A and B are shown apart, each in its own frame.
Chain A
Amino acid sequence: MATMTVRMSSINAALLDTFREETTDGLEQLEAKLLELLARPEPELIDQLFRVAHTIKGGAGTFGMTQLTRIAHRMEGVLDTYRQGARPTPAAVTTLLEGTDALRRLLAGKGTSDVDDRGLEARLEAASKGGEAGAPAHAEAVRTAAAAPAPPSLPVHTIRVSPAPGLFRAGADPVMLFDQLTTVGELVATVDLSGVPPLAELDPTTCHLAWSLAMTGGSAEVVHALFGWLDELCPIAIETTGGPPPAIAAPPPAIAAPPPTPGPAAPASGPAAASRDAAPAASIRVRLDKLDGLMNLIGDLMTTQSTLCALGRAGAAVVDPIRERAALDELERLTRLLQQSALQLRSMPISSVLNRFPRLVHDLAERLGKQIELELTGDTIELDKTVLERIGDPLVHLLRNSLDHGIEQPDVREAAGKPRVGRIRVSVAQRGDEVTIEIADDGKGLDTARILSRAKERGLVPAGRTLSDDEIHRLILLPGFSTAEQVSDVSGRGVGMDVVVRTIQELGGDLQLRSVLGAGSTMTLRLPLTLAIMDGQLVKFGGRTWVVPLAHVVECIQYSAKDVTVLIGQRPMYRVRDAVVPILDPCERLMLPITKTHDLVLIVEANGQRRALVIDEVGARQQVVVKSLSAQLARVDSLSGAVVLGDGSLGFILDIVSLCTAGADRAAA
């Protein structure tokens, strides 16, 4: 057993990705718990907060993100004072929340940021000084590290790293720190194996190793900054000389050192910098139980497959139709479950989007001088990742509207006989393969008279038309209703309600509005669980099979000519009980030859608009796998996708939203 020389490689990009993901989660937790802290300053909560901050600091230290480490360290310092009994103040919590923002920004910027965080650091520092406890001992070293300029000549540092036995158990990997040092200077590392016991006595979780590092260039402060967070777990001793580098740092006398073989010095920052610039690949974290479920299903599938194989091999003489039927039924069941299971892999809880709501409400309520209580329910419901990614901004916009325009000032509320504290309830529920998200407030509600006058000002309502309250409410969703929405520092992006509606429609959902003047408004979003699979109603017209998304189907009735009303200058309408619905002939719309007299009327609805689709036949209701048309084709009018039908031929999915709204435009024009 002797020393061995470790050649440094670039930092592992995959580990960095993991760190980013975990830290993103950590920051979410930190934010959520900080918001709870004022109401509930319990030791348990404070401990949790401290641990999260500590973990982030440690990880950031490992990856050499010094600024991130510094801020996390300061936040930890503030939290530590609470552990020692100091009481959190609202101002301090706000500063800590700013700290989380800074960390998030630094994380997105791969450890660097254009924003000067010194003011924030000073405030955090002040907050920690507010308590009795001072900053932990290594704070000074970390602080000086950032400011220290690199010396002009290339000094040589001999660094003796002698970790405590518990280093690995603490989750630290010194080799990664060494990697980081290679970005600072040229490094030759020598490992001291003298402490390693015989194999029989070896406990692999205990650190028996020590290192000698010879680093050319860089500064001792950087080394301190990198190792400082480990405290007593990994004490280091640094000796700096200005002379030529010693081949290796003095190894312990007990062992014979072979000559080191330092390779040609690679440009220090090259590979590490490159790996950090690579864009993180789209990935998803999957809960282990989902994977286990999938594995179980595949196990069952293999059993069924061998059963079927055995049945087939037995030959025609001994065919057992009952067992064969049973195995085929099982195969069908497993296929369905496998499909569901695969979909679940793509799903994530909606809490990943809703988590930012408490913070948003906290900040905005403070700025607007309102008192608001937020209630979140059903945030464990899962949605397809692609849906989740796109629904975040629209939801924030809707919530911001409720806060800004819905909830009144406390005094106004009191005068109206309502509690001073306004309530916003965000509830998520799953119904079949649809998810509804409801944002309800007990604010002032929509003022129909004001909306109407504004819409008339903007020429959105044709003269001489009377609108129902519901129709008036929907006017706020029209493009051009709201004045140019300013970019707000709360939502970050200025999107109008029409953009919200468009996004929801693109996702195959819709938005409903309910409002009572003086009592509040409720916005209900309906979204499909996934975009990849859809429940479809097969219909026939124009001699071909088409798919109508089941979510838009209201009912299917027998066509009867006496229910058709044609008024001069108006489109023909179909009477359904006591309502009339505009008739839409899909053959005419899609310019198809009319092959058969229409027999049926399919009533469809999107965004509160109904249409009577005249069709020839109605087929099965079935789940279809949606295939994109837009990947290869430019604008495809009136169709939202294609599906492979049971016989292998292709069918198209009717875009009910555009079919319904296109007609409405014409009616309004």
Chain B
Amino acid sequence: MQTEHTRSGDASTRYLCVDLGAEQYALPLLSVREIQAYTAPTPLPRMPAHVRGVANLHGDIVPVLDLRLRVGMPEQAYGRLTVTVFVAVGTQVAGLIVDSASRVLELDPAQVRPPPTIADGVDVSFISGIARPAERVIVVLDIETLLRGDPALAMSAAPQLPAPAIEHKRGS
């Protein structure tokens, strides 16, 4: 895994870059708890397809989701580079299975543009923005919306937390 250690900037502008197929997604580094090489979680009966099961994360039983299926991409077999990224929002912890995690990068908030209102085949509701550093296109994920919008997680039933200031509103 290659990392880009840029200036010791504000942690809130740093992101973990993960790959889903040819696309790159950025997860706010502050919400990332841990990255583990993929091991199959214990499947839970009667769960939606994207909930791959649960894992024992240091004594807590946490759900593990396939991020491809969660964002509406086609399923793909897990390989050597597949990792589970454990993210947390408040008390909700979840593992996200991604094709690979490539690096940590810093994104200037000014670089992050509001997402398009319609994207082909992909649910845009949990995209907080699109960044284009150095000719690449990186989709910045809104982890809170992603987890809260998942009816399988405890968080979906939890009362709404005061929303943090978000740079761009969808459709603005």
Contact = CB atoms under 8 A, between A and B. Distances in A.
Interface string A501-533: 000000000000000000000000000000000
Contacts of A286: none
B60 interface: yes
A632 B42 contact: no
B92 to A, nearest CB: 6
A627 B61 contact: yes
A642 B53 CA distance: 12
Contacts of B157: 634
A632 B45 contact: no
Nearest to A652: B44
B93 interface: yes
A117 interface: no
A636 B153 contact: no
Main secondary structure of the interface of A (DSSP, over half): loop
Nearest to B93: A632
Given A632-B93, A634-B153, A649 B61 contact: no
Contacts of B55: 650
A650 B42 contact: yes
B61 A637 contact: no
B107 interface: no
A375 B44 CA distance: 48
Contacts of A639: 44-45
Contact of B46 (A628, A634, A637): A637
Given A632-B60, A632-B62, A590 B156 contact: no
A319 interface: no
A634 B151 contact: yes
Interface string A270-288: 0000000000000000000
Nearest to B156: A634
A533 to B, nearest CB: 15
Interface in A623-665: 627-634, 636-639, 642, 644, 649-652
Given A628-B61, A642-B61, A652-B44, A634 B152 contact: yes
Q: Which of B45, B54, B62, B63 has the most CB of A within 10 A?
A: B45
B56 A644 contact: yes
B81 interface: no
B59 interface: yes
B55 to A, nearest CB: 8
A420 B160 CA distance: 58
A309 interface: no
What's the interface size class on B, roughly? 20 to 34
B15 to A, nearest CB: 24
B94 interface: yes
Contacts of B37: none
A638 B44 CA distance: 11
Contacts of A415: none
A190 B170 CA distance: 65
Main secondary structure of the interface of B (DSSP, over half): strand
B152 A650 contact: no
A631 B157 CA distance: 11
A591 B61 contact: no
A652 B44 CA distance: 8
Interface in A569-628: 590-592, 627-628
A636 B44 contact: yes
B42 A592 contact: no
B16 to A, nearest CB: 21
Contacts of A592: 45
A591 B44 CA distance: 10
B73 interface: no
Contacts of A642: 42, 54, 61
A639 to B, nearest CB: 7
Nearest to A586: B45
B63 A649 contact: no
B35 interface: no
Given A592-B45, A638-B46, A632 B56 contact: no
Given A631-B60, A632-B62, A632-B92, A650 B54 contact: yes
Contacts of A628: 61
Contacts of A649: 42
Interface string A338-356: 0000000000000000000
Nearest to A651: B42
A627 B61 CA distance: 7
Contacts of B61: 627-629, 631-632, 642, 650
Given A638-B45, A652-B44, A632 B94 contact: yes
A631 to B, nearest CB: 6
B154 interface: yes
Contacts of B45: 590-592, 637-639, 652
Contacts of B63: 632-633
B59 A627 contact: yes
Contacts of B44: 633, 636, 639, 652
Nearest to A631: B154
Contacts of A650: 42, 54-56, 61
A634 B152 CA distance: 5
A524 B86 CA distance: 45
A627 B157 CA distance: 20
Interface in B26-76: 42, 44-46, 54-56, 59-63
Nearest to B44: A636
Contacts of B60: 627, 631-632
Q: Which of A590, A632, A650, A652 has the most CB of B within 10 A?
A: A632
A651 B156 CA distance: 25
Nearest to A628: B61
A646 to B, nearest CB: 14
A631 B153 CA distance: 9
A639 B45 CA distance: 9
A590 B93 contact: no
A590 B157 CA distance: 23
B98 to A, nearest CB: 19
Contacts of A638: 45-46
Nearest to B94: A632
B47 to A, nearest CB: 8
Contacts of B152: 633-634
Contacts of A630: 154
Contacts of B156: 634
A634 B60 CA distance: 15
A634 B59 contact: no
A7 B46 CA distance: 65
A629 B54 contact: yes
Contacts of A652: 42, 44-45
A592 to B, nearest CB: 6
A629 B59 CA distance: 12
A632 to B, nearest CB: 5
Interface in B1-19: none
A204 to B, nearest CB: 47
Contacts of B54: 629, 632-633, 642, 650
Contacts of A651: 42
A668 B101 CA distance: 53
15 contacts: A590-B45, A591-B45, A591-B46, A631-B60, A631-B91, A632-B62, A632-B154, A633-B152, A634-B152, A634-B154, A638-B46, A642-B61, A650-B42, A650-B55, A651-B42
Interface of A: 590-592, 627-634, 636-639, 642, 644, 649-652
Given A590-B45, A636-B44, A639-B44, 9 more contacts: A591-B45, A631-B61, A631-B91, A632-B60, A632-B62, A637-B45, A638-B45, A642-B54, A642-B61
Closest 3 CB pairs of A and B: A590-B45, A650-B42, A642-B61
